[in-house]
Amino acid sequence: MSAVRADYIRPLDIKHGRVDLSHGSGGRAMAQLVEQLFAAAFDNPWLAQRNDQALLPQPEGRIVIATDSHVVSPLFFPGGDIGCLSVHGTVNDVAMSGARPLWLAAAFILEEGFPLADLKRIVDSMAAAAREAGVPIVTGDTKVVEAGKGDGVFITTTGVGVVPPGIEISGDRARPGDSIIVSGTVGDHGMAVMSQRESLAFGTDLRSDTAALHGLVAAMIDAVPEVRALRDPTRGGLATTLNEIAAQSGVGMLIEEDAVPVQRQVAAACEFLGLDPLYVANEGKLVAIVPPEWAERLLQAMHAHPLGHQAARIGVVTADRHHFVQMHTRFGGKRIVDWLAGDQLPRIC
Amino acid sequence: MKYIDEFRDGALARKLAAAIVAEAEPGRRYHLMEFCGGHTHAISRYGITDLLPPSVRMIHGPGCPVCVLPIGRVDLAIGLALQQRVILATYGDCLRVPASNGLSLLKAKARGGDVRMVYSPADALTLAQAHPEREVVFFAIGFETTTPPTALVIKQAARLGLANFSVVCNHVLTPAAITNILESPEVRQLGTLALDGFIGPAHVSTIIGSQPYEFFAEEYHKPVVIAGFEPLDVMQAILMLVRQINQGRAEVENEFTRAVSREGNVKAQALVSEVFELRRTFEWRGLGQVPYSALRIRDAFATFDAERRFSLETRSVADNKACECGAILRGVKQPRDCKAFGTLCTPENPIGSCMVSSEGACAAYYSYGRFRETPGVAAPI
Amino acid sequence: MCLAIPVRVVELLGEAAAVVDLDGIRKEISVALLDGVSVGDYVIMHVGYALARLDPDEAERTLALFAAAIAEQST
């Protein structure tokens, strides 16, 4: 749909070209980049209009908006890249309210010198993820910063969705007695990314679990509209998400270590580096809090969906004025699963 | 995971716990020091305290190389990064240790210091080879487990004739620390610290063997059981100590026979002797000056000794007045006894190194066990 | 105080190096601190170096020791 205009000075050299400052200056070079790279990949009527904004129809229902910035390093990792991650991440944030995601906006900060071939790879990946999710990227922005002032590329995505009537899902709705359910194995994404980091690299089949979860969410609330809270445990892992919800809702939690699904390779990789899988990032999993009488039905609905087939009930919400998340260890003792101080760091001691 | 999961079996744990309860004599208390920070971490992480009878009390010892690292030594590393502008290679454990002027290695990185986290000393060597135009300094810490790899790397640097690589050596010795505790006034004269036995470190012992502990058993009449790293190992070792104490024995027993022999790894010991020699004295955070407790690089490898290469002088920096890390490291106080614990001093804002290192007594207690203070929650301690 | 784990040697490389495996995670490490390491051996690994061999017979014996402690207690 995008043809090179006769008065362009030179065609975009995807193979060998690099981002330079002119690509962010608002002039012809930037227009060429937008048309030949971004719009060509994302390919929808809104972008084809070439406005700085997208005019959208009035959606039916309560509107949800969410935004996320993506600064992951390395940009490409087993199972994904910053591109699809930026689509999945925001689609998921919108979906965690029970909303159906409708549209995405994407802003790029490119570093001078960034290879166009890599940019195309990322943009194509975003386009595929958006297509697969059924959520178009309808508007965007591009800026270029000087070499050394950016990590190749930063992407910020904003998503808009609508919540069906009768659905009230929020992190402050957990109540003592509620069941805590996780949709699958934890720690996959973080360990897959870590396996690529210089000096920590290890050989593995591990792939990021990055995925758009709105289909799973739709199936879940269709079966059990009484779901109280949903959240996707990204940075900081499952432990951080549970602590967030506990604090928001003013409750405590008690989980069973044995019940938390962890892939063998993830457990082994964590052993190597002295990390705890409960704190390792996920990009395709969610936590659900549901009244206990609906837990079984919710699990059935999740098991029937490809992204929820390993869903498991891992614990119960408790009354606790300290808002501690506690855990019965596999060993038979009890410990807190605390907030992290900072990023978990690999250790030797 | 083979040789890991079997030693974490919960059903076996409960039965071992019952055995400990059965053997602990009524009316008798057992004060056992687990020397090694890795054991402290295991006890907290697996909730072993919950499985022990109240008469068995675990005292946390100073076997955490990050915790005993004096502020002045971290300052050396920070100075190298910020002033001499070297590439400073360090293990992840050291990054957040609070040093002077409100700095840490992580904060120095934020200020432009080229601080790089490595998993292995070999990675530091690789950095030196990759950046011949820069000075690369490896900040080496650790007890006897971690020393042989540093020795190998220095030898390799010599073989390769590297002109831009050096090491700040903070390697410390286990037997010296145990002596220091046993000779401390609280144990020796005042009797304020009751100490009935030791759980000996797992991996240090794979290198030094079980032989060095025989001195402590004979001289101070305290039993030592070397325990593997897994929670079942720790519980079995506690059972063996309880038995020794009941029977009035003071011997060195080895629970970690699958990896520890009496003589240890002789090849590794020889390598260490070749590259390092004893420092006459070395400051340990919390213990003060301890004689013959640490290593420095021999003259033959002087060119790889960052302290000589950069003419570094270590300043002795006093701890924050509120910090009780010293007493905690010596087993004299518990984290709860420190006024700063959980208020001024938390994992987010650590004042002392007991809180920074995840195996420090304070961090372990804060992160895994502070719920035990909660009124209404049963506190078996 | 030292994070060290038992891993299985799956390949010997030149220059005192080996590839080890733990449940599908592979890493290249140094075996320079040990003599005569063979494929199939279990070693204790710390900061990328094999420190000691793990003796499978002793491991079995230790597990049996746990069971014995329990049996003794119930008599």
Do A154 and A287 have their domain in common? no
Do A78 and A128 have their domain in common? yes
Residue B346's pLDDT band (cuts 50, 70, 90): confident
Q: How far is the alpha carbon of A348 from chain C, nearest alpha carbon, in Å?
A: 5
Asked whether residue B67 carries a pLDDT value surpassing 60, the answer given is yes
Asked whether residue B374 carries a pLDDT value surpassing 70, the answer given is no
User: Using CB atoms, which residue from A334, A345, A349 is nearest to B359?
Assistant: A349
Q: What percent of chain B has pLDDT over 70?
A: 97
CB contact under 8 A, B152 and C4: no
Which chain B residues contact residue C27 at CB under 8 A? none
CATH code of the domain covering residue A89: 3.30.1330.10
Residue that terminates a domain, selected from A109, A128, A163: A163
Which chain B residues contact residue A148 at CB under 8 A? none
Do A324 and A207 have their domain in common? yes
Residue B187's pLDDT band (cuts 50, 70, 90): confident
Q: How far is the alpha carbon of A274 from chain C, nearest alpha carbon, in Å?
A: 7
A188 within a domain of the structure (yes/no): yes
The Cβ of residue A342 has, within 10 Å, a number of other Cβ atoms equal to 11
User: Using CB atoms, which residue from A268, A274, A349 is nearest to C25?
Assistant: A268
For residues B62 and B70, the answer to whether their CB atoms sit within 8 Å is no
Q: CA–CA separation, B195 vs B324, rounded Å?
A: 20
Of A268-277, B232-241, B343-352, the one with minimum mean pLDDT is B343-352
A15 within a domain of the structure (yes/no): no
User: Using CB atoms, which residue from C4, C58, C67 is nearest to B229?
Assistant: C4
- Token pair, residue B275, equals 């590259």
Instruction: State the complex-level ipTM.
Output: 0.92
Asked whether residue B312 carries a pLDDT value surpassing 80, the answer given is yes
For residues B292 and B279, the answer to whether their CB atoms sit within 8 Å is yes
Higher pLDDT pick, B91 / B373? B91
pLDDT of residue B152: 98
pLDDT of residue C1: 54
Nearest partner of B86 among B139, B154, B148, B153, judged by Cα: B139
CB contact under 8 A, A202 and C23: no
Chain B, nearest residue to A269 by Cα: B1
Which chain C residues contact residue A268 at CB under 8 A? 22-25
Q: CA–CA separation, B329 vs A349, rounded Å?
A: 16
**H helices present in A279-349, as ranges:** 295-303
> What is the per-residue pLDDT across A208-249, written as a single tens digit (0 to 9) for each?
999 999 999 999 999 999 999 999 999 999 999 999 999 999
Chain C, nearest residue to A273 by Cα: C3
Optimal mutation site among A331, A336, A347, interface B, most CBs of chain B within 10 A: A331
Q: CA–CA separation, B358 vs A274, rounded Å?
A: 10
Which chain C residues contact residue B228 at CB under 8 A? 62
CB contact under 8 A, C25 and A202: yes
Q: Does A148 touch chain B (CB under 8 A)?
A: no
Q: What average pLDDT does chain C have?
A: 90
A248 within a domain of the structure (yes/no): yes
Do A222 and A270 have their domain in common? yes
pLDDT of residue A199: 65
Asked whether residue B376 carries a pLDDT value surpassing 60, the answer given is no
CB contact under 8 A, A265 and C27: no
Per the structure, the complete domain to which residue A269 belongs is given by 179-336
Nearest partner of B348 among A79, A340, A293, A286, judged by Cα: A340
Q: Does A274 touch chain C (CB under 8 A)?
A: yes
Q: ω before B375 within 30° of 0 (cis)?
A: no
Residue B41's pLDDT band (cuts 50, 70, 90): confident
Q: Does B64 touch chain C (CB under 8 A)?
A: yes
Q: How far is the alpha carbon of B112 from chain A, nearest alpha carbon, in Å?
A: 13
Q: How far is the alpha carbon of B63 from chain C, nearest alpha carbon, in Å?
A: 6
Q: How far is the alpha carbon of C12 from chain B, nearest alpha carbon, in Å?
A: 18
Q: Are strands A252-256 and A325-328 parallel, antiparallel or unpaired?
A: parallel
A95 within a domain of the structure (yes/no): yes
CATH (residue range C5-74): 2.30.30.140
**DSSP state letters, chain C:** ----EEEEEEEEETTTEEEEEETTEEEEEE-TTSSS--TT-EEEEETTEEEEEE-HHHHHHHHHHHHHHHHHHH-
CATH code of the domain covering residue A327: 3.90.650.10
A123 within a domain of the structure (yes/no): yes
Which chain C residues contact residue B63 at CB under 8 A? 1
C-alpha of B271 from chain center: 22
Optimal mutation site among C25, C28, C44, interface A, most CBs of chain A within 10 A: C25
Q: How far is the alpha carbon of B224 from chain C, nearest alpha carbon, in Å?
A: 17
Higher pLDDT pick, B354 / A68? A68
Chain B, nearest residue to C4 by Cα: B203
Asked whether residue C75 carries a pLDDT value surpassing 50, the answer given is no
**DSSP state letters, B113-152:** -EEEE-SSHHHHHHHHHH-TTS-EEEEEEESTTTHHHHHH
Q: CA–CA separation, B66 vs B356, rounded Å?
A: 8
Which chain B residues contact residue A274 at CB under 8 A? 358
Optimal mutation site among A185, A264, A270, A271, interface C, most CBs of chain C within 10 A: A271
> What is the per-residue pLDDT across A152-199, written as a single tens digit (0 to 9) for each?
999 999 999 999 999 999 999 999 999 999 999 999 999 999 888 766
The Cβ of residue B60 has, within 10 Å, a number of other Cβ atoms equal to 29
CB contact under 8 A, C25 and A348: no
User: Using CB atoms, which residue from A202, A264, A349 is nearest to C26?
Assistant: A202
Task: Average the pLDDT over B369-376 and give the result.
Answer: 60
Please determine, looking at this structure, whether the domain spanning B5-64+175-254 carries the CATH number 1.10.10.10: no
pLDDT of residue B192: 74
Q: Does A55 touch chain B (CB under 8 A)?
A: no
Q: CA–CA separation, B121 vs C33, rounded Å?
A: 14
- Could you give phi then psi for residue B47, rounded to 5 degrees? 65, 40
pLDDT of residue B364: 84
Which chain C residues contact residue A271 at CB under 8 A? 5, 22
Which chain C residues contact residue B260 at CB under 8 A? 52
CB contact under 8 A, A347 and B93: yes
Q: What average pLDDT does chain A have?
A: 93
Optimal mutation site among B3, B225, B253, B354, interface C, most CBs of chain C within 10 A: B3
Domain topology for B71-173+264-309? Rossmann fold (3.40.50)
Which chain A residues contact residue B347 at CB under 8 A? 338, 341
Tally of domains within chain A: 2
Chain C, nearest residue to B68 by Cα: C1
CB contact under 8 A, A329 and B37: no
Cβ-defined contacts of B212-217 (< 8 Å, 24+):
B212/B174, B212/B175, B213/B175, B213/B178, B213/B252, B214/B252, B215/B175, B216/B175, B216/B178, B216/B179, B216/B182, B216/B252, B217/B250, B217/B251, B217/B252
User: Using CB atoms, which residue from C5, C23, C47 is nearest to A265?
Assistant: C23
Q: Does B231 touch chain C (CB under 8 A)?
A: no
Q: Does A342 touch chain B (CB under 8 A)?
A: yes
pLDDT of residue B381: 29
Where along chain C do its domains lie?
Answer: 5-74
Q: How far is the alpha carbon of A332 from chain C, nearest alpha carbon, in Å?
A: 16
Residue B380's pLDDT band (cuts 50, 70, 90): very low
Task: Average the pLDDT over B271-282 and give the result.
Answer: 97
Do A67 and A103 have their domain in common? yes
Residue A327's pLDDT band (cuts 50, 70, 90): very high
Residue that terminates a domain, selected from A163, A192, A227: A163
Amino acid at B252: V
State the count of interchain CB pairs (< 8 A) between A and C: 37
For chain B, give every residue range classified as CATH 3.40.50.11750.
5-64+175-254
- Could you give phi then psi for residue A83, rounded to 5 degrees? -65, -60
Of A201-205, B237-241, C21-25, the one with minimum mean pLDDT is A201-205
Asked whether residue B348 carries a pLDDT value surpassing 60, the answer given is yes
Q: Does A347 touch chain C (CB under 8 A)?
A: yes
Q: Does A199 touch chain C (CB under 8 A)?
A: no
Residue that terminates a domain, selected from A163, A195, A221: A163
pLDDT of residue B375: 40
> What is the per-residue pLDDT across B117-161, written as a single tens digit (0 to 9) for each?
999 999 999 999 999 999 999 999 999 999 999 999 999 999 999
Which chain A residues contact residue C22 at CB under 8 A? 268, 271-272
Which whole-number Å values give the CA distances from B137 to A266, B131, C60, in the listed order?
A: 32, 12, 43
